[in-house]
Chains A and B, each alone.
Chain A
Amino acid sequence: MERKAENILNRYLKHIEIELESLTPFARKEIIAEIRSHLVEEWQSFEEQNEENLLQVINNFGDPREIAADYLARSPEEMEPQARASYPPTWLVLVLTIIFWPAGIILAWLSPAWRTRDKAIATLIPVLIPGLAIVFILAIRVIIGAVS
């Protein structure tokens, strides 16, 4: 494919891809590959391929925003977790965990944006850090005691 035509095609596909930002990368890639396949096939059906008929092919395919909106309306389950309702925001959970651990942790467990593994880590950090600090101090004391 001629470079200029390739650019026209890529720009159009990029436009759709950007509009599909909230989908998973896999779903997005699959959609773009299928649309590219259609556009290339349609363009190849012309006797001679030029920029003019490529633009015509793109025009027949439709408005990128409308196509993307159709995909999004039809596949909410393929969205990235953070694109769904993600209250409370992650920054608030982190700040509250530092200032007032129980409130932050409760919010973290309520949040759909956090995976269970992350929630468990967030919950254990305040327990583990003082625990490790005590073990560390005790170990140093033992070492100092042994030396003197």
Chain B
Amino acid sequence: MKPNNPFTQIKKGTLEYCVLAVIARGEQYGYEIVKILQEQGLNTPEGTIYPLLARLKKDGLVTAVWREAESGNPRKYYTITARGEEALAEFRASWSEFKTVVDNILRGGLD
């Protein structure tokens, strides 16, 4: 996708909350989060979600813990915090409002 594509910017702004929403379903690790997002049709270079996870952790929206998988590969598991749940609920409300406004304008119903 070209950087000037309008969806690149929208994706950038919403990806953080999509990741948070995936973690809210239960403890997840990075690889699994990427796969879930891809299954849902949200394709980004896989590396982009890791800096974002670091940010969520620093902001106290998630916590992380290292655990070894059966294969011997260590995984970093993320869990949502109460603050994360709050931020996600706020975003859901704002997004829903924003979506309604944009849909209405796009439909031409400027009332």
Contact = CB atoms under 8 A, between A and B. Distances in A.
A98 interface: no
Given A38-B34, A60-B45, A62-B45, A33 B74 contact: yes
A135 interface: no
- Chain B contact residues, majority secondary structure: helix
A37 interface: yes
A40 B52 CA distance: 20
Interface residues of A, number: 22
A47 interface: no
A36 B75 CA distance: 10
Given A37-B75, A60-B46, A61-B46, A71 B51 contact: yes
A73 B52 CA distance: 10
A67 B46 CA distance: 10
Contacts of A41: 31, 69, 71, 73, 75
Contacts of B99: none
B58 A34 contact: no
B11 interface: no
Contacts of B29: 37
Contact of A75 (B55, B73, B74): B55
Given A63-B47, A74-B51, A74-B58, 8 more contacts: A33-B76, A34-B50, A35-B47, A37-B29, A37-B74, A60-B46, A61-B47, A62-B45
Interface of A: 31, 33-35, 37-38, 40-42, 44, 60-63, 66-67, 70-71, 73-75, 77
